[in-house]
């Protein structure tokens, strides 16, 4: 019978971002090997077909049968007359080695092809197909001088990306599966097309305190801004993130600064702009527009009536334009309107007022979209008048779309600039 393997029924359950993609998962003999099972299933849930190649040593830690169960495909343990390494390199889109031991990484770096995994890696290198390496080893091995040489050599190779372990309390931690899957998506769908860019992103709400425990804020989770920062990082950009109180985690690879108030966010933006020349600033945060004219030093008693006077907070976009009139600046407009026409009108007003290059606008209050949700629907307006709509979609997919549009406009501008010269 040619009935579909039951495990393959999960393909596309989460999203279809990797639909039609074929991914080879290389498994080596690290203690983190059990995480590879979760990774295979995560990639499948995003639409991919996964084929597993195991080193001989790794097959002694976990039986190949378990990976066949996880993926629904036969596991490659030996390279036979069918030249499996060439077939995989010809027909698959990416080779993900997770976990990758020091031994395997050294072999790939210096072309030693005496294991299944290192041989498949050489075939992918020769075919100019992307390889993602996720190291997993003790911190002493990771910090060894030889490992630094290995990393340097691998990073100098075209189409090789390394997602480094998270260093937490002097331990090299295997990254969360979600982050690895996001990185795989980025390199398959876009490559490291933002490698030469420096990007500053703001995210989340701010808080304006009435007294030590009460404050004015909004329901922003920060997911949109964090998704943009993460997508840019996975695509090779240097990224800094300035954020208010968040409801989600920030990937630890991303340089980030936590702030409280709108003025705090503005001051941190000014500091970072002074320290580094950014190519792009994306203001995805939802800072409070007003604050109390005075903040009480002690908790207000709940049985008394108070009247608050609210005063405007400083506008971050206005200050950025005063500092740098040329930087590519992206703003967001979350509006309580009934129609897309009214949304467009307000977004264009904001664009003119703050000299944005792009405004990303959305209507607040639609069920399941926007603040606090994983999903949104946006209208993206370019300074030249071009308009594009996207969604409803996951915010990480919207982040990819926004960065695509930014890169497209910058490349177009650079091409025209060279032509005029």
Structure confidence at residue 170 (pLDDT) = 85
CA distance 153 to 87: 26
To which CATH superfamily is domain 198-297+305-420 assigned?
CoaB-like (3.40.50.10300)
Please report, for residues 104, 142, 150, 155, the alpha-carbon distance to residue 146 in angstroms, rounded to integers and kept in the order given.
13, 9, 6, 14
CA distance 232 to 225: 11
- Token pair belonging to 5: 């393997």
Portion of the chain with pLDDT greater than 70, in percent: 98
Structure confidence at residue 420 (pLDDT) = 61
Structure confidence at residue 417 (pLDDT) = 64
CA distance 78 to 85: 10
CA distance 292 to 310: 5
Top-tier CATH class for 20-189: alpha beta
> What long-range pairs does 339-348 form, CB within 8 A, spacing at least 24?
340/379, 343/379, 344/379, 344/381, 344/387, 347/379, 347/381, 348/381
Q: What is the largest CA-CA distance in the chain?
A: 85
Q: Give yes or no for a contact between 142 and 172, defined as CB atoms under 8 angstroms apart.
A: yes
**Would you call 382 helix, strand, or coil by DSSP?**
strand
- Token pair belonging to 366: 């639609």
Q: Where are the domains of the chain?
A: 20-189, 198-297+305-420
Q: Give yes or no for a contact between 288 and 217, defined as CB atoms under 8 angstroms apart.
A: yes
- Token pair belonging to 312: 């405007």
* pTM listed for this prediction: 0.90
Other CB atoms within 10 Å distance of the CB of residue 63:
12
Token pair 């169960």: residue: 69
CA distance 297 to 81: 78
The angle at the Cα of 51, spanning 45 to 57, to the nearest 5 degrees, equals 120
Start-to-end Cα distance in the chain? 66
Positions of the chain with pLDDT lower than 50, given as ranges: 1
Length of the chain: 421
Structure confidence at residue 391 (pLDDT) = 84
Structure confidence at residue 38 (pLDDT) = 97
Helix (H) or strand (E) holding 257: strand 255-258
* Matching fold, domains 20-189 and 198-297+305-420: yes
Q: How many CA atoms lie within 13 A of 91 on its CB side?
A: 9
Q: How many CA atoms lie within 13 A of 391 on its CB side?
A: 26
Q: How many CA atoms lie within 13 A of 26 on its CB side?
A: 31
Handedness of CA 143, 147, 149, 151 (dihedral sign): negative
pLDDT of 366-394, one tens digit each? Answer: 888 888 889 999 999 999 999 999 989 99
Please report, for residues 18, 232, 288, 321, 358, the alpha-carbon distance to residue 284 in angstroms, rounded to integers and kept in the order given.
26, 14, 13, 16, 12
Structure confidence at residue 128 (pLDDT) = 96
């Amino acid at each position: 019978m040619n009935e579909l393997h039951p495990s393959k029924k999960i393909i596309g359950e989460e999203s279809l971002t990797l639909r039609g993609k074929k991914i080879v998962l290389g498994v080596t003999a690290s203690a983190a090997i059990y995480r590879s099972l979760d990774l295979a299933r995560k990639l499948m849930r995003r639409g991919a077909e996964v084929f597993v190649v195991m080193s001989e040593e790794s097959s002694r830690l976990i039986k190949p049968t378990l990976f066949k169960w996880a993926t629904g495909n036969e596991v490659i343990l030996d390279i036979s007359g069918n030249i499996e390494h060439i077939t995989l390199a010809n027909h698959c889109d990416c080779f993900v080695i997770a976990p990758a031991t020091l031994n395997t990484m050294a072999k790939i770096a210096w072309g030693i092809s005496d294991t299944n995994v290192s041989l498949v890696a050489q075939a992918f290198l020769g075919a100019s197909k992307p390889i993602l390496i996720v190291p997993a080893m003790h911190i002493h091995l990771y910090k060894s001088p030889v490992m630094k040489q290995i990393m340097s050599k691998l990073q100098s190779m075209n189409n090789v990306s390394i997602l480094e372990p998270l260093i937490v309390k002097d331990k090299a931690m295997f990254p969360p599966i979600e982050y690895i899957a996001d990185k795989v998506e980025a390199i398959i769908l876009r490559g490291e097309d933002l490698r030469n860019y420096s990007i500053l992103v703001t995210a989340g709400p701010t808080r304006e305190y009435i007294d030590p425990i009460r404050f004015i804020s909004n329901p922003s989770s920060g997911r949109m801004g964090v998704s943009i920062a993460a997508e840019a990082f996975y695509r090779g950009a240097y990224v800094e993130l300035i954020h208010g109180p968040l409801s989600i985690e920030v990937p630890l690879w991303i340089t980030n600064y936590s702030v409280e108030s709108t003025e705090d966010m503005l001051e941190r933006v000014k500091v970072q702009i002074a320290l580094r020349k950014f190519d792009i600033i994306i203001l995805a945060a939802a800072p409070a527009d007003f604050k109390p004219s005075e903040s009480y030093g002690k908790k207000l008693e709940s049985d008394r009536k108070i009247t608050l006077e609210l005063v405007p907070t400083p506008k971050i976009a206005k200050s950025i334009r005063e500092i740098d009139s040329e930087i590519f600046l992206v703003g967001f407009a979350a509006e309580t309107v009934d129609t897309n026409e009214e949304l467009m009108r307000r977004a264009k007003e904001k664009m003119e007022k703050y000299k944005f290059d792009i405004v990303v606008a959305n209507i607040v209050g639609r069920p399941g979209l926007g603040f606090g949700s994983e999903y949104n629907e946006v209208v993206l307006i370019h300074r030249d008048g071009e308009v594009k709509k996207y969604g409803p979609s996951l915010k990480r997919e919207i982040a990819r779309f926004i960065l695509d549009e930014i890169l497209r406009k910058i490349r177009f501008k650079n091409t025209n600039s060279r032509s005029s010269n």
